[in-house]
Amino acid sequence: MKLGMVGLGRMGGNMAKRLENDGHVVQSYARSGGGTAGSLEELVGQLERRRAVWLMIPAGDPTEQAVQELLGLLDEGDVIVDGGNSNFRDSQRRAGLAAEKRLGYIDAGVSGGIWGLANGYCLMVGGEDDAVGFLEPAFKTLAPDDGYAHVGPSGAGHFVKMVHNGIEYGLMQAYAEGFDVMNSSEFDLDLHEIPAHGPEPAHLHLDVRFLLLAAPGEVARASEESTAIRWVPRAQLLAFSDDESLHRMESRTRAVLAGRRPVT
């Protein structure tokens, strides 16, 4: 299919490449440049009806401004996809605005990080059946086998991604505290070897996977490819390989909205 991608950062850029590698035609726009279009208006003009425009830009004002502009540029039946970490309440509201103009609106939680280009992205999709069905060829390309699920109506995709983010940050905190306990113990432990020889990532946190989505069979398979489940142990291994004692890492990290939202 042919679609427009807004935002060509580490996520949006690699998603566009993965789509193109599978034969899709991707027109693109980024405020920083490098796309096929110099504005949202030009991007819409590069797409034939029925259009699909996928946003991979920061949540909040950037997404709000882009959606408001697209509402005035697109035609009946066209579809907007928000693949960022928007508040699910904002996604519900924006879907209502889109429906007033007879546009489709999809909120898609996307997990995969820097490994997504090669390994695929876990997609948690909310929206009406018609719009989701139209975008399904792109979803199937972006995700690994059984790696995406239509989890419910508008807002559901970003709600599930919010829970996913909470689990992910909780896992990272638990890993950090566990390694700190081991590092401070009376034993001379090789912290590099411990993550290298643990169980296979796909078998970790078996029961946690069933918390991620409302359709357990679909979701369990999809979430096996998510960043939180599959790649956290590998990221640990890479961190220890680069800095065996982790002395260069600070003990605290900046709180991000995606991590705070599940507990507020």
Strands 148-152, 122-126: pairing kind: parallel
Instruction: Point out the residues that are catalytic.
Output: 161, 168
Q: Is the Cα dihedral 56, 61, 62, 67 positive or negative?
A: positive
CB within 8 Å of 225: residues ≥ 6 apart: 111, 112, 119, 120, 121, 122, 143, 144, 147
Considering only CA atoms, which of 4, 116, 114 is closest in space to residue 53?
4
DSSP 8-state secondary structure symbol assigned to residue 26: E
One DSSP character per residue, 187-255 reads: S---TTHHHHTS--GGGTTHHHHTTS-SSHHHHHHHHTTSIIIIIHHHHHHHHHHH-TT-TTS-S----
Starting at the edge strand found earlier in the chain, the sheet holding 25-29 runs 25-29, 2-6, 52-55, 79-82, 104-111, 122-126, 148-152
Total length of the chain: 264
Question: How far apart, in whole angstroms, are the C-alpha atoms of residue 63 and residue 167?
Answer: 24
